[in-house]
Every structure is written in C-alpha cells, then in structure tokens.
Homo-oligomer: A and B are copies of this chain.
Amino acid sequence: MHPIESKVTSDDLVFYKEALAEAKKGLESHGIPIGAVLVHKGNIIGRGYNKRVQLKSPIRHGETDCFENAGRQKPEVYENSTLYTTLSPCAMCTGTAILYKIPRVVIGENTNFQGEEKLLKSRGVEVIVLNDLETTQMMKDFIDQNPILWNEDIGLSEG
C-alpha cells in the first residue's frame, strides 16, 4: 500500500465530500468551484467556497472563506484541526494555514493547479492529495470554459 494513501481515514472521505459539496455550491451560484471545510476533533467548524464572483472578492478563496465562516477561533483550535480543500492551495491559502498552524491539509486534486504544497510540507504540515477524479474533471471543465476568470483567481497575467 502507498504510504500516503494509508494516512487517509474513512472520516477524511466523509469530510472531503463536504468540501466538494461546497465547491458545487460555488459552481451553482456561477462562481469558481473550489470548496473547503475546517474540521476540529471530528466536527466541522467552518465551511466555505470561492466567492470571487459572488462577493467581488480577491481574498475569498475556498479556504479563506472557510476560515472566515469559522469565525474567530482560539489558536489551540486551529492547531488541532484539519483543512479539507478541493484544490491544491495557492500561496494566500497556504499562508493562512501556516499562520494558524493547521497541522494537516487534505487536498482533492493538484492536477489542474499545483499550489504551495512544498511550502506547507517545509513548515511541518501533513499534506495528503486524494486525486479525486470527480473534482479533477469538474475543475478542468470550469477552467476550460472560464480561462480569464481562472487566471485572475491565481494572479496569472495574459502576457
């Protein structure tokens, strides 16, 4: 068995489905389909999805929206939480996880976007990539259909 795969629990798959459900809410509300949930000791304490379109926000990625919706938490809570996200996290969302010392990040896929997984690992964060096919296809379709919006979301200029 692959050593990474063995770290995935059945609870992880349950919580991951919730992150994916958030991503689908984003898609249904004409936004970018990236979702996240924050789980503390078996309880979802925050959930969110990318709201660049819906709130005209450059800082509401799936993960940061999830943190925002979790509200103000004590540092100890973050230090015992797992962040589930449908896409490999960008520098902003990675930095947010590092700021709050999130020890574990479970990622749906990193085929469509390779975020800052190395940086997370360099700070001692456990990073697990599920390579979920449904998520990968959903994201691929979205990017194919919305390249300019997608590039805006990841700060990629046309030039």
A residues in contact (CB < 8 Å) with B: 52, 56-59, 64, 67-68, 70-76, 78-79, 90-96, 98-101, 116, 119, 151-152, 154-159
Question: Do residues A68 and B73 form an inter-chain contact, with CB atoms below 8 A?
Answer: no
Q: Give A146 to B159 CA distance when docked, in angstroms.
A: 46
- From residue A131, how far is it (CB to closest CB) to chain B in Å? 24
* Complex A-B: 9 CB contacts under 8 Å: A58-B72, A59-B59, A59-B96, A74-B157, A90-B95, A91-B95, A99-B154, A99-B155, A101-B155
Question: Do residues B95 and A94 form an inter-chain contact, with CB atoms below 8 A?
Answer: yes
Question: Do residues B116 and A75 form an inter-chain contact, with CB atoms below 8 A?
Answer: no
- From residue A145, how far is it (CB to closest CB) to chain B in Å? 19
Residues from chain B with a CB closer than 8 A to the CB of A74 are 152, 157
Out of B52, B91, B93, B157, name the residue touching A79 (CB < 8 Å). B157
Residues from chain B with a CB closer than 8 A to the CB of A116 are 95
A52: nearest residue on chain B (CB-CB)?
B72
Question: Do residues B95 and A151 form an inter-chain contact, with CB atoms below 8 A?
Answer: no
Q: Give A143 to B59 CA distance when docked, in angstroms.
A: 26
Out of B68, B79, B151, name the residue touching A58 (CB < 8 Å). B68
